[in-house]
Structure 1
C-alpha cells in the first residue's frame, strides 16, 4: 500500500559488473527459494472465456514466485493463486471494442454514455502467495449509444504495468500478501534496484501503483484510482476503446498518493480527498476546486499510528474520517510477512473536521468500539443547529478476517449519529443482511438521502444480488430497512451496484427515479451480462439485459459517465 522504495536514494549510475552481480545475487536468493531450480520465465495458458473456447496464453514468472504449493487450509486458500484466481476471478486478456447483443428489453436513453468497472487482473499469474487486491487494474467499459452497446476491456497502462511487461516478470512485490521470507523481500528489492539502474523502472518519479480500485470524474478529467499512487487519467474513444493518458500530479501539487474514494460535492462541484501512509503524518487531507485545482495539504498529526484509511465521507461542513483496526506495520502473519494486518487491541475512532480547515486544530475524534468501516456510503448534518452528524456505512464484523478469510466477514450496514454538542455517539443496524458496496443517487452526496443500494455478500467476495434500503424506516422503530431486492439466481453473481438517474438535471425528480446497473456473471455457463434494473420497482425489475461477448471478472468499484461528460474529457 506504500512505496517500499521510498527511502532508497539512487544517484550515479552503477557500473555493469555491479549490476550483473546484484542481479546474480537476486537470482541465487530466488533459486534457493525455488528449491535450487534455475529462475526462468514460463508460459501458461489461461482460459478467458470457456463458452467461446478461447485460450489466452499468459506469461507467468517463476523468477519471483515459488512453485511449491501452499498448504491446503482455509487461511492459505485466501492467498493461494490456484484458489484466489479460480473461476471468474481468473484474469483475462484485453478485449478491443466489441459489439454486444441486447437480449432482453431496451436500454434507456439516460444510459447513453459509458459504464466503467475497475478491478484486479494480474498481468502475470503468480506461483506464490497472492491476494485478490494485488492485481493490475483493468477497466471494463460498456459504451452505450442509442440503444446499442460495445464492450471494451483494457489494462490501465501504469508505470508498473509497462515496466513489468518490458521485463517479462513481476517487479513490485504484492502488498497485501507481502512476501513469505526475508530472502524474497531482499530479492524483490535487488530486482527493483537493478531495473532502476538500467533505466527500466523508477518508482520514485513514476510510481508503482496498480490503478485497480475505483474511478472518479472531476475537473473534466476521468481517473483510474489506487490509493498508494497518483491517479491515472483515462478517456474512452467514440468507438469505445479505453486509452490511458498518464499519471496526473495536478501541476506538481500532488506529489504523493491519493485515496481511491474521493468525494465530489454536486452542489459546490468541489472534490475532497486524502492520503494515508506509513510515516507521520499518517493522514493528510486536501481538496480540489471546481476547476480541478488542488488546494494545500492539511496534515493530521492526531492519528497516532498508520491506519488503513480506505474511505471517508463529507457533509456540507465536515469531513468524516473512520479510523478502523486495520494497521500498516511490517508483521509476520500466518501467511508470511505482510504490510497490512489487524490490531485487535486498537479502539476504532471517527474523526470530524471542518471540510475547509487549513489545519487540524478543529478536528475531534470520537471513540466507537467495534466500528470498523472500510466503505462509507454517505453523511449529512441534522438538527436545527446542525449539531449532529449522521454517517451511513458498512461495519465489517470479524475485521481480523478482512484481508484473509473474507468468507467469514459480515458487512453490517449501520447508521451512526454523532452529537457534536455532547460528544455522544449512537448507532444501529439498518439490516441483518450481509451488505457491502453501498451506493446512493450521487446527487445526494453530503446531503440527507433516503435510499441506499447494496450488494449482498453470499459469502464475500461474491455477491448474489442487490437490495434497496429505505433509511427513513430506521427513524421510526429501528426496523429492517430493505424495501426491494433482486437475487440473480443460482450460480449467478454480480458486484457493486451503481445508480443512474433518469433525469440527472431535474432537481424535482424523485431520489429513486432511475436505474441500477451491474455486471453479472453466470458460473453455470461462464457467461456475463450487463444488467439494468428499475430502482423504483419493489423487485428491482429487469429493464434490459445485455449479453457480453466475453466474461467480465469480478472486481471492485464502478462509475457511469454521461455522454455529455464524456465529450468534455
Structure 2
C-alpha cells in the first residue's frame, strides 16, 4: 500500500512539472510573437519613412531644376536687352532684324522645351499618385490578415466608397434622385399642425421656388434648367393649406403641348451653346422688327416702377439692418440649419457674430430662411421681433414639414410645425406675401 501511494505521488509531481513546462513554453512563444510583430511594425515604419524621404528628394530636385532653368532664362533675357541697347546706339538695323529672328526662334524652342517639361512633370505626378494608391491597397491587404472579419468588411467598404466617389459624375440619374426627384402639381390641400400653433399675425402665403422639370431631360442636366415650380403654403386664422404649381413659361407651354422636352437646356452640355445662339438670333430679330432698342437700356431687375414710384433694389443687406438669417450647409440647396447673425458685433469687434442657431437634425435639410415681423407697422418694435420660416425635408422618413421659429429666442425655438401632404423638393428662394398684397394681385 505504501509503495502504491509513493508511486501516485511521483506521478502527480511529474504531471505538475509537465504543466509548468508547458506554461513556460507558451509564455515564451507569446513573448516571441510579440517581439516579431513589433519588429515587423518597425520595419514597415522604416520602409514608409524611406519612401517618403525618396519622394521628398525627388520633389526637391525637381524644384531645384525648375529654379535653375528660370534663372538661366532671366540671364538670357538680360543679355538680349543689353545687346539691343548697344545696337540701337550703333545704328545697325539690318543686323538687329536678323538677330531678332534668331531670338524669336530661340524663344519658340524654349517654349517647346517648357511644354515638354510640363508634360513630363504631369506624367511623373500621375505615376506617383498611382504608386501611392497601390501602396495604400497593399497596406490594407496586409493589415486585413491580422484583423478580425468585421474590421475587414468595414475597411473594404471604405476603399470601395473612395473608388466610387472618384468615378461619380453629375448625371441626371444622380441629380434627379432622392429629394431632387420630379413631383407633379398639387391642388390646395389642408395641412395638419403637428406641433404648437400658427401665430395669428401670420396672414398670407409663404412661397418658395425651385427646379422641377416636367419631363426627364434627354441630355446633360443642370438644376437651373428645370421648369420652375412654386410651392405655396397659405396661412389664415391658424390654419394652413398647401399647393404646388408650375410656372407657365413659354418653354413649359411648348413642351406641355408637345409632350416631350423639345427645347435645349441652357446651362448644361453643348445644348447651352445652341440655346444661347438661338437667343442671340431672337434679339437681333426683335431689333430689326423695332420691338427692342438697345440704346434705351435693357431693363435690369435692380430698378423698377411699382405703383408710380421708383424702387432701387440691392443684392446685399443695407447698413441699417442689424440681423441676418443665414442658412448653414456645405452643399446648397441641401441646408442643415439656420443661423442668426448680428452685423453690429462683426463691424465693431470682428468677433463671431452668430447670436442664435438651429440645426434640423440628422438626415433633415431645409431651404432658404425668411423672416416675417410680428408688427411691421410698429416703429418701436425690435428688428428681430418676429418669426423665421422654412420648409424642412426628412430624408429618412420621406416627409416634409413647414417650420415657424421664434426669431428672438437663442435657439430659434419652434413655434409651429405643419405636416405637409407630400415632400417638397430642394429649391432656391422663398418669400412671404401678405393677404392684403394677394388680394391686390387678383
Contact 1:254 1:294 in 2 (8 A): no
Q: How does 1:57-456 map onto structure 2 within 5 Å?
A: 77-78=169-170, 80-179=171-270, 258-259=300-301, 273=302, 287-291=303-307, 314=314, 376-380=315-319, 448-456=320-328
Distance 1:552 1:172, change over 3 A: same
SS of residue paired to 1:166: helix
Deviations 1:308-350 (A, max 9, x none): xxxx964xxxxxxxxxxxxxxxxxxxxxxxxxxxxxxxxxxxx
Residue 374 (structure 2) pairs with residue 514 (structure 1): no
SS of residue paired to 2:440: coil
Distance 1:527 1:256, change over 3 A: farther
Q: For structure 2, which runs of at least 5 residues remain unmatched after alignment?
A: 1-163
How far apart are 1:169 and its partner, in Å? 1.9
SS of residue paired to 1:77: coil
Distance 1:292 1:96, change over 3 A: farther
Contact 1:120 1:135 in 2 (8 A): yes
Greater strand content = 1
Contact 2:328 2:335 in 1 (8 A): yes
Alignment-derived partner of residue 152 in structure 2: none
Contact 1:313 1:378 in 2 (8 A): no
Which residue of 318, 321, 334 corresponds with 1:462?
A: 334
Separation (CA, whole Å) in 2 of partners of 1:74 and 1:504: 51
Larger radius of gyration: 2
Deviations 1:104-134 (A, max 9, x none): 1110112111110011101111242111121
How far apart are 1:526 and its partner, in Å? 0.5
SS of residue paired to 1:88: helix
Contact 2:333 2:428 in 1 (8 A): no
**TM-score normalised to structure 2 length:** 0.56
How far apart are 1:172 and its partner, in Å? 2.6
Which residue of 412, 416, 437 corresponds with 1:565?
A: 437
Contact 2:232 2:242 in 1 (8 A): yes
Distance 1:257 1:494, change over 3 A: farther
Separation (CA, whole Å) in 2 of partners of 1:101 and 1:131: 34
Structure 1's consecutive aligned runs of 4 or more residues displaced over 2 angstroms after TM superposition are 72-78, 202-205, 253-259, 287-290, 292-295, 458-461
Deviations 1:274-305 (A, max 9, x none): xxxxxxxxxxxxx333415789xxxxxxxxxx
**CA RMSD across the alignment:** 3.3
Deviations 1:240-283 (A, max 9, x none): xxxxxxxxx9xxx9996754xxxxxxxxxxxxx1xxxxxxxxxx
Aligned residues: 271
Deviations 1:46-94 (A, max 9, x none): xxxxxxxxxxxxxxxxxxxxxxxxxx7669633x111111111111000
Alignment-derived partner of residue 418 in structure 2: 546
Q: For structure 1, which runs of at least 5 residues remain unmatched after alignment?
A: 1-71, 194-201, 208-248, 260-272, 274-286, 296-311, 315-375, 381-447
Alignment-derived partner of residue 400 in structure 2: 528
Alignment-derived partner of residue 155 in structure 2: none
Distance 1:292 1:95, change over 3 A: farther
Distance 1:76 1:171, change over 3 A: farther
Separation (CA, whole Å) in 1 of partners of 2:214 and 2:383: 41
Contact 2:388 2:406 in 1 (8 A): yes
Distance 1:74 1:499, change over 3 A: farther
Contact 1:452 1:470 in 2 (8 A): yes
Separation (CA, whole Å) in 1 of partners of 2:204 and 2:172: 35
Alignment-derived partner of residue 482 in structure 1: 354
Distance 1:185 1:483, change over 3 A: closer
SS of residue paired to 1:378: coil
**TM-score normalised to structure 1 length:** 0.44
SS of residue paired to 1:568: helix
How far apart are 1:508 and its partner, in Å? 1.2
Separation (CA, whole Å) in 2 of partners of 1:489 and 1:538: 17
